[in-house]
Structure 1
Amino acid sequence: MKTSRLQKTKQLTVAGMAALAATSSLVAEDAKPDPRPNILFIFSDDHALKTIGAYNPEYTADNPLNATPNIDRIAEEGAVFTRSFCTNSICQPSRASVLTGKHSHKNGVWGNGAPWDNQQWVFTRELAKNGYQTAMIGKWHMHPYPSTEFDYHKTLTGYGGQGRYYQPLFINHDGQEVQETGYSTDLITDYSIEWMENRDKTKPFLMMCQYKAPHTNVMPALRHLREFKEDIPVPDTYFDNFDGRSEYLKHTWMSMHGLQVPEVLKISPKLGEYDREKLHHTNPYHYMVPLTLEEAKAWHKHYDPMNDDYNKRRAEGKLQDGSKELSIYRYQRYMNDYMAVIDGVDENVGRLMKYLDDEGIADNTIIIYSSDQGFLLGEHGITDKRVALEESMMMPFIIRWPGHIKPGQRNDAMIQNIDYAPTFLEAAGIEIPADVQGRSLLPVFQGETPDDWRTSIYYHYHQTGEYNLPKIESVRSKRYKLNRYYGHRDPELAKLGEQWELFDLDKDPQELNNLYNNPEMAPVRQEMKEELDKLREQYEVQEQE
């Protein structure tokens, strides 16, 4: 980890950091700090709740699925929101909803690739107008890149805007593309700490530290490569065939059973059995391309024995294509890498928290850990998001604010990512615009949910055709969920027409028993349809074809 860069002057700060430093030097020595809270927003990508200790109190030190001690510390000293949902479970739309406090149909980012209107209202610009210093470092993903949304930004680029884990490319604040040396999660933390160190310390700040990890293609830091274990519990629904539910789900391209073996599972020829230089030209997106020779040697030292064993088993007639045995093996390989990548995220969360502690500003800093959406890790045989299943819709939201949030609480208020923007504004004492669709969470921070708080959430996935899915509209109450599938762009699949699902989440938390056509559930079905219509009206949803 390149912590030494924090003691060195780097070109990474470019014009934006230079301007900030110049401004800081003009501040009078006796200037008093603004008492409003700082905000450190840590945002990962595709972080499944089942791999966060704070969301799984049944885990023990001797038997964790995955240990996340630093993320858990935020929870222990703050609050875990157990009913936290995204509005549209896909990268770009979720980020737009966080910034605008609005659903996708209002902010215009309905799917990945939809253009970002960089002139629309965002809470970050509002904070800056009211005396906050604002910065975003890491994954942005939207198009175009940031302009005036932040005082300073340094964003990942390449790989479709995802960035890569090793030797990532960044767009600096001045628009210059630079390739940095190191591991993405470490570098984003380095740059975030350096910006906080060089800011004007008489003013409050917003730092949005946004990791690529643990987004596929999961590549751990070399120090986190772990011994391969094949004992990770396989989800009960791993071999789900979706009988009785929407036929569209049987056609998705998100199956963990068919993961691309070389790219996702790191099963590739040994070092020396392929031409590294040729690979750069013939397949520039191959996961091995960014690695230096020394990194590649360490990588192969770890993975080659596993791959030798894989090939040996295949030669012995095991792990055959289409077998459950191979499917479970793929799950184990993926999960080992996924959790190792999260080791890097958690370690860097600890570095950020240590910085706050060392600077003596932790008590006046709101720190949030969240992710752009949830993620299915083999549940229902899926490895992705998008669908209106709990593991996809639910996103982590863990927050610490000393003196304002009772430590150790588990809050079951229904919240969404559209609530983040108004929450940050109210915490800063700034008026919330009337057209923001989310609601400030300050009233629920002490564990008491107001009587008029929402009792259901609205979800809408718009990107028809992607991963062979139709559009999906959903309303989720505390007990029930109603899903509507419609509008597939493929002419043949579109013949399936509109399809509905209804689940009783109290009795069926795995969403296996579709009750939509059950006559006994007619009153609930009608109630949920009325709730859907109410939310459409509330959020001004026009698209209902």
Structure 2
Amino acid sequence: MNYRQVVGAGLLLLTVMGTGSLRAAEADPPTPQASSQPQASLVERPNILFIFSDDHAYQAISCYGDPRRLIDTPNIDRLAREGVRFDRCLVPNSICGPSRATVLTGKYSHLHGFYNNTNSRFDGSQVTFPKLLQKAGYQTALIGKWHLVSDPTGFDHWHILPGQGLYYNPPMIRNGQRVQQSGYVTDVITDLSLEWLEKRDKSRPFLLMVHHKAPHREWSPALRHLGHDQDRQYPEPPTLFDDYSGHGQAIRDQDMTLARTFTDLDAKLKPPPNLTPEQRRLWDAYYEPRNKAFLEKKLTGKELIRWRYNRYMHDYLGCVKGVDESVGRLLKYLDDHNLAQKTIVVYSSDQGFYLGEHGWFDKRFILEESLRTPLLIRWPGVAKAGHADKHLTSLLDLAPTFLEAAGLPADPQMQGRSLVPLLRGQAVADWRKSFYYHYFEYPVPHRVRPHYGVVTERYKLVHFYKPDVDEWELLDREKDPLETRNFYDDPAYAEVVRELKAELQRLRRELKEPDELPKEAYGALYFPPKKKK
């Protein structure tokens, strides 16, 4: 692969010759110079600011145009206006830890080894894109949620939340040392990120990964955002009261509904942990009178679900407002310090999330709202401003993209593909037309059975296969965009099923997924957690 470096407006633009990616097909990638001896050209390589939230549904980003118009996110929308909005970015395994491992490695769960949030532990010795950037002279930092159990590797500086982290006054771990932070977690992560940007070595390019806890369950907003919606009654998704009659046992028998799974902590009938007395006073001043009015009504059935849906939307979207403000603060720093033209900014989430669709919260299923995650990339001089890309893209593609931006080859084991040609708006004839998905964790916390499937622009063919089911479902997003019906047994789809099964097998062979996976992949199914004494 040949390159030429074009220096303009202080930004090095990498012009890719030919249609391939920078991925080395056979040989191991060359070992770049150590960060203690940066090359002269490093000052011209783009900085990378990667902002990653947790459970942020694309429906809750205004530039994605959800018909409910749930929220305005002007700062995240700015990235779409000044860069590329990817409209079908898919996750290989819709759950937090596995998605984070995929971002780092560019690999599926069966290769990076992090299958679930129950008993997986990330092997930090494997190749990751931060390690490759670090070796090439980039200074690297990770601030916020990590959620991979082992300590981060490949970072000059890391300041992370232990486990899921707390929304208020969170304890954190800074380069192995436990520290106590004061304030709201989204603000804390943003403050620490800006502090690192200010203190960094300004002679070298940087990779800064800002990983937010928000808007993860239990969706506790900042105190300033309590009442942000003025008690709005939110438009309901058409499937809020889905009875799952069009699906098989696996989708019917889950435990992630507003009807029966929503807890008092979710509903804010109990306050979140770790509030100071003054924070608790402000919290109670908002929730207590509303909770009192709710309890007096003694709601049941659909009216109870409607109340929970509206409380959920207030809280979840309040968390999103904090994340959007964080993006605005980070973009302002780049503007104020003459870094905007030299920095790639990426916004994404570890997966999508259900905002009442099918009566659900959470994620996990191959259905669209959790399979699809937001992805917005601004790269001045490269990314086609205001472009909406419709290709099947994935979190798998981020690692090769970041490496190509830095002029480095991807590791041969990476299973994604650089998005740089798509960012430029180029036609890529051999881009993927199908995508493989595999979810493992069962039965806790939400009784979503293991399943794998193939996804195309129109169809999803899904196999639920453990522990007590053997079911196939075919979803047709053209005829049934809400995904409420299974077309698998319809004779009119026999040829579609045959073709998709063949494609499914082809993808599994290509991705080198073994027929038998380790029992550890399935979490509590084979290794139930020990009961506390």
TM over 0.5: yes
Where does 1:322-361 land on structure 2 (aligned, <5 Å)?
A: 323-361=301-339
Q: Secondary structure at the match of 1:265?
A: coil
CA apart distance, 1:239 = 1.2
Task: Provide the residue aligned with 1:179 in structure 2.
Answer: 180
Instruction: Tell me the C-alpha RMSD between the 2 structures.
Output: 1.8
2:341 equivalent to 1:363: yes
CA apart distance, 1:544 = 5.7
Task: Provide the residue aligned with 2:403 in structure 1.
Answer: 425
Task: Provide the residue aligned with 2:439 in structure 1.
Answer: 461
Task: Provide the residue aligned with 1:311 in structure 2.
Answer: 295
The answer to whether the 8 A contact 1:108-1:114 is kept is: yes
Equivalent pairs, count = 479
* CA distance in 1: counterparts of 2:246 and 2:164, whole angstroms: 36
* CA distance in 2: counterparts of 1:508 and 1:498, whole angstroms: 23
Q: Secondary structure at the match of 1:206?
A: strand
* CA distance in 1: counterparts of 2:54 and 2:262, whole angstroms: 20
CA apart distance, 1:42 = 0.2
Where does 1:235-314 land on structure 2 (aligned, <5 Å)?
A: 235-268=237-270, 287-314=271-298
Match of 1:170 among 169, 172, 187: 172
The answer to whether the 8 A contact 1:33-1:201 is kept is: no
Q: Secondary structure at the match of 2:274?
A: coil
* CA distance in 2: counterparts of 1:244 and 1:505, whole angstroms: 14
* CA distance in 2: counterparts of 1:228 and 1:306, whole angstroms: 12
Alpha-carbon displacement from aligned partner over 1:169-204 (angstroms, at most 9, x marks no partner): 10111x111111111000101111111111111110
Match of 2:74 among 53, 57, 69: 69
Alpha-carbon displacement from aligned partner over 1:197-236 (angstroms, at most 9, x marks no partner): 1111111000000000000011111111115525201111
The answer to whether the 8 A contact 1:413-1:449 is kept is: no
Task: Provide the residue aligned with 2:157 in structure 1.
Answer: 152
CA apart distance, 1:498 = 1.0
Change in Cα spacing, 1:57 to 1:303, as seen in structure 2 (3 Å) is: closer
Task: Provide the residue aligned with 2:44 in structure 1.
Answer: 35
The answer to whether the 8 A contact 1:370-1:395 is kept is: yes
The answer to whether the 8 A contact 2:474-2:497 is kept is: yes
* CA distance in 1: counterparts of 2:303 and 2:425, whole angstroms: 46
* CA distance in 1: counterparts of 2:319 and 2:427, whole angstroms: 35
Match of 2:452 among 473, 494, 505: 473
Task: Provide the residue aligned with 2:475 in structure 1.
Answer: 503
* CA distance in 2: counterparts of 1:289 and 1:441, whole angstroms: 41
Give the number of the structure whose residues are more often helix, by fraction.
Answer: 1
Q: Secondary structure at the match of 2:252?
A: helix
CA apart distance, 1:310 = 0.7
Task: Provide the residue aligned with 2:209 in structure 1.
Answer: 208
2:425 equivalent to 1:447: yes
Q: Secondary structure at the match of 2:259?
A: helix
Task: Provide the residue aligned with 1:524 in structure 2.
Answer: 496
The answer to whether the 8 A contact 1:259-1:330 is kept is: no
CA apart distance, 1:149 = 2.3
Task: Provide the residue aligned with 1:124 in structure 2.
Answer: 130
Aligned residue type for 2:188:
L
Q: Secondary structure at the match of 2:101?
A: helix
Change in Cα spacing, 1:143 to 1:27, as seen in structure 2 (3 Å) is: closer
* CA distance in 1: counterparts of 2:508 and 2:402, whole angstroms: 26
Task: Provide the residue aligned with 2:108 in structure 1.
Answer: 103
Task: Provide the residue aligned with 1:45 in structure 2.
Answer: 54
Q: Secondary structure at the match of 1:447?
A: coil
Unaligned runs of at least 5 residues, structure 1: 1-23, 269-286, 489-493
Aligned residue type for 2:289:
P
* CA distance in 1: counterparts of 2:244 and 2:376, whole angstroms: 32
Task: Provide the residue aligned with 1:12 in structure 2.
Answer: none
The answer to whether the 8 A contact 1:75-1:398 is kept is: yes
Q: Secondary structure at the match of 1:443?
A: helix
2:372 equivalent to 1:394: yes
2:487 equivalent to 1:515: yes
CA apart distance, 1:464 = 2.6
* CA distance in 1: counterparts of 2:226 and 2:250, whole angstroms: 37
Change in Cα spacing, 1:436 to 1:289, as seen in structure 2 (3 Å) is: closer
CA apart distance, 1:504 = 1.3
The answer to whether the 8 A contact 2:166-2:273 is kept is: no
CA apart distance, 1:145 = 2.1
Normalised by the size of structure 2, how large is the TM-score?
0.87
Task: Provide the residue aligned with 2:194 in structure 1.
Answer: 193
* CA distance in 1: counterparts of 2:365 and 2:391, whole angstroms: 22
2:60 equivalent to 1:81: no
The answer to whether the 8 A contact 1:46-1:214 is kept is: yes
The answer to whether the 8 A contact 1:155-1:170 is kept is: yes
2:518 equivalent to 1:540: no
Between 1:442-451 and 1:185-194, the stretch displaced more is: 442-451
* CA distance in 2: counterparts of 1:242 and 1:442, whole angstroms: 40
Q: Secondary structure at the match of 1:396?
A: strand
Normalised by the size of structure 1, how large is the TM-score?
0.85
CA apart distance, 1:540 = 0.4
Between 1:345-354 and 1:448-457, the stretch displaced more is: 448-457
* CA distance in 1: counterparts of 2:248 and 2:389, whole angstroms: 32
CA apart distance, 1:508 = 1.0
Q: Secondary structure at the match of 1:345?
A: helix
Residue identity over aligned pairs, in percent, reads 47
Between 1:222-231 and 1:339-348, the stretch displaced more is: 222-231
CA apart distance, 1:58 = 5.8
The answer to whether the 8 A contact 1:258-1:327 is kept is: no
* CA distance in 2: counterparts of 1:339 and 1:70, whole angstroms: 15
Aligned residue type for 1:69:
P
